[in-house]
Structure 1
Amino acid sequence: MRGLIPPQAYDLYELITERAGRSLILPPDRAPQDRCPLFPTSVVAESLLDRLISNSHQLFMNGAGYRPNQRPRAAAGNTGKKAG
């Protein structure tokens, strides 16, 4: 994830605020404390995380990820360069 510019952060904030109390699934790739620096101000980050966490059910899953098993296998000897 990259840092959000102010319009993106405020749009995300409005989206989360509108969805409060409804079903929303967010599969995070970072811990909440690691997300704060992605926002332009700590006020927006704290408020957004508070809305997400206050009425949430959190599932913590440990183990190997699913995606590495779904990557296409590279052809033997394929260097990614085109012949010719």
Structure 2
Amino acid sequence: MTTTDMGSGEFPNAGFGKSAYIHNIQYINSDNNYQDYNGQNQLVVSDTARYNLITSWSSGTSWGSYFYLGGPGAGGQINA
């Protein structure tokens, strides 16, 4: 397990300007068209005390599908 922070080190609920984010997440389908990504059934957060995600799939905004991510990790302590 990693002990380092993820993104900015802030949890996702810190929001824009503080937490890391990825937006306009898309893939190209079999018809060669861009589609908003929907990963709702594919996410695994191994330790929510150290890291987390807040998602918005196909948001209908200029951000499309996006998520905020991050957390402080274990602060460099392996068995924390």
Q: Same fold (TM over 0.5)?
A: no
Sort the TM-score into its range (normalised by shorter chain): under 0.3
**Structure exhibiting the larger radius of gyration computed from Cα positions:** 1
TM-score by length of 1: 0.27
Between Structure 1 and Structure 2, which shows a larger proportion of helix residues? Answer: 1
* Higher share of residues assigned strand: 2
